[in-house]
A = this chain, B = another copy of it.
């Protein structure tokens, strides 16, 4: 069991617990992978048989040690490719995901490591996500979710969730980029939206966006 499908499943499972640790359900996986629930149930059964996940029927889905290792390897590949596309081929940060999603399955370890080395073995991708090292080590920066930040909090952007290309384009235009300095000016109580100061002005960010940006503590 080492198919591209298996690689994508363990990556999706890993993704779910990367920034906030909660167990994944089949329907969440199905939504993320764009598949029917029944498909996920069946595949999870196969992954369990292959020793990549723990799963009792109706229970949570969790990676085994082996599954986590495969996921980390795959996350490394994905993020190295994204970084390479931006750094060397002029892609914008909202354009890299789909290409990386395919390429991550097609590169040998040798080639991937050569690409990573040519980039100076980067430790984070264009969205601020940590790139696992060759040996599987992951160093996650301390970060505060913008939605949870205190009023008056000032910090640099450490990470932006890369799920929504349109949001990434909007943020780039609004002066919110990796390492940009932000300050939390205010929260509108019942709207859930936040007023934020950037280098160039102030923006109102809705709750979805506030759930997608992490700042230094």
The copy count of this chain in the complex is: 2
Partner of A114 from B89, B111, B115 at Cβ < 8 Å: B89
- Residue A85 interfacial (CB < 8 Å): yes
- Of the listed residues A103, A106, A115, the one surrounded by the most CB atoms of chain B closer than 10 A to its CB is A106
Contacts of A85 in B (CB 8 A): 111
A105 CA / B107 CA spacing, docked (Å)? 11
Q: From residue A104, how far is it (CB to closest CB) to chain B in Å?
A: 9
Residue-wise interface mask of A (112-139) relative to B, using a CB-CB cutoff of 8 A (1 in contact, 0 not): 0011001000000000000000000000
| A106 to B, closest residue via Cβ | B106
The number of residues on chain A lying at the interface, defined by a beta carbon within 8 Å of a beta carbon of chain B, is: 15
Q: How far is the CA of A165 from the CA of B27 in the complex (A)?
A: 48
CA distance A85 to B107 in the complex (A): 11
In terms of DSSP, what is the predominant structure of the interface of chain A? helix
CB neighbors of B among A40-92 (8 A): 85, 88-90
Q: Are A89 and B111 in contact (CB under 8 A)?
A: yes
User: In the complex, are the beta carbons of B114 and A107 less than 8 A apart?
Assistant: no
- In the complex, what residues of B have CB within 8 A of residue A106's CB? 102-103, 105-106
A114 touches B102 (CB 8 A): no
Given contacts A89-B114, A103-B107, 4 further A-B contacts (CB under 8 A): A85-B111, A89-B115, A99-B111, A105-B106
Selected A-B contacts with CB under 8 Å, 11 pairs: A85-B111, A88-B118, A89-B111, A89-B114, A89-B115, A90-B114, A99-B108, A99-B111, A103-B106, A105-B106, A106-B106
> 5 closest pairs, A vs B, by CB?
A106-B106, A89-B114, A102-B106, A103-B106, A99-B108
Interface set of A (CB-CB < 8 Å, partner B) = 85, 88-90, 99, 102-103, 105-108, 111, 114-115, 118
